Amino acid sequence: MKTSINLIKLVLINLMILLSNQSFANTTDNSEGILWAGCGITKKAFMSELAKAYTAKTGIEVTLTGGGATKGIRNAAKGNIDIGGACRATLPGHKEERGAHQVPVAWDALVVVVNKDNPVNSVTFKELQKIYLGQIKNWKELGGDNAPIELYIRKGKHSGVGRTLRELVFANYDQEFKAKFTVKSSGPLEKGIVKNKYGIGTTGISSAKRRDFKILKLDDKEPSYDNIKRGEYLLYRPLYLVTKGPKSDEKVKKFISFALSREGKAIIRKAGTVPYADAMSLVMKQLQQYKRARDSGIFSHN
């Protein structure tokens, strides 16, 4: 119930932020650049394209670096960077993230990926849960080869993918997974599965579609652009731009306004990502999916 209430609060905050940032004031001031750092999936989803377009429009250079969602949030909160990129919400009770101000810009879907030579094409929601709990251990149980399932997961529980997976599949932010490989970021996870015929893992669609592996159907639903936008897939999360408090520097406000403008949303769509404002119904889908996970009742802390 507490997680559900927090989600509702986050939805309302996101909506107010979105409505307050719709106007874009053009600028030709190129005296200062913009430094962005954070989630690699957010970078691939829209930030690379937005940065190029903004520089072309204004002459202001936007420098992009990585580091992951946690570093993006916390470095933005400290003022070490101008804008952070995040694929998760801030963590309640973590003082390092208390000053972070998040603006939802786009939607990402969590997808299950395997090696392209793996004959399995789909899994059910229940099967996905059991894979992560170590209750399904062999590919033959899913209609594949007689070979062990080798699960890849992210280190820790605060990564964007890991936290969202725990929320929407297990309704438990502390859920333990039984994995063969634990890696530091989504990049090594994806690269490992590209090379490992019997590997499996979860990542963001914005990154997955750029890799040479197979994206599985989940409950027989493909994570296509249209399915994501219409809410016909299962696992969604917002992608955020993050600043130090709501009162950002003028150059930061102008970039965020550009990202939320009609022009910015067109750029995001062209990149194959759904703008946040295009699919507000997904907010309720998130709540429904959390309830489904909570009601499954098969969780384990072992």
Instruction: Inform me whether the pLDDT recorded for 20 exceeds 60.
Output: no
Same domain, 40 and 130: no
Same domain, 222 and 242: no
pLDDT, mean of residues 6-24: 48
Q: Report the C-alpha gap between 225 and 107 in whole angstroms.
A: 10
**Partners of 243 in the β-ladder:** 101
Q: Report the C-alpha gap between 275 and 22 in whole angstroms.
A: 13
Instruction: Inform me whether the pLDDT recorded for 24 exceeds 60.
Output: no
Range of the domain at 33: 2-107+238-288
The pLDDT of residue 30 is 38
Q: Is residue 142 a contact partner of residue 133, using CB atoms and an 8 Å limit?
A: no
Same domain, 7 and 77: yes
Instruction: Inform me whether the pLDDT recorded for 15 exceeds 70.
Output: no
Quick one: which H or E segment has residue 100? strand 100-114
The pLDDT of residue 7 is 52
Same domain, 278 and 208: no
**Cα R_g (the chain), whole angstroms:** 19
The pLDDT of residue 294 is 84
Same domain, 176 and 123: yes
Residues 6+ apart with CB under 8 A from 13: none
The pLDDT of residue 27 is 35
- Reported as half-sphere exposure (CB side, CA atoms, 13 A), residue 139 has a value of 20
Tokens of 43: 């970078």
Same domain, 249 and 279: yes
Query: 142-151, 215-224, 240-249: which has the minimum mean pLDDT?
Result: 240-249
**Partners of 242 in the β-ladder:** 84, 102
Per-residue model confidence as pLDDT tens digits over 180-206: 999 998 899 999 999 999 999 999 999
Per-residue model confidence as pLDDT tens digits over 141-194: 999 999 999 999 999 888 889 999 999 999 999 999 999 999 998 899 999 999
Q: In terms of residues, how long is the chain?
A: 302
Q: Report the C-alpha gap between 236 and 135 in whole angstroms.
A: 25
Q: How confident is the model at residue 299 (pLDDT cuts 50, 70, 90)?
A: low
Per-residue model confidence as pLDDT tens digits over 93-137: 899 999 999 999 999 999 999 999 999 999 999 999 999 999 999
Q: Report the C-alpha gap between 244 and 249 in whole angstroms.
A: 9
Q: Is residue 72 a contact partner of residue 101, using CB atoms and an 8 Å limit?
A: no
* pTM of the full structure: 0.84
Tokens of 299: 């969780």
**187 part of a folded domain:** yes
Average pLDDT value over all residues in the chain: 88
Same domain, 41 and 145: no
Final residue before a domain boundary, out of 210, 230, 250: 230
The pLDDT of residue 185 is 86
Number of domains the chain is built from: 2
pLDDT, mean of residues 290-296: 82
Give the domain CATH number at 56.
Answer: 3.40.190.10
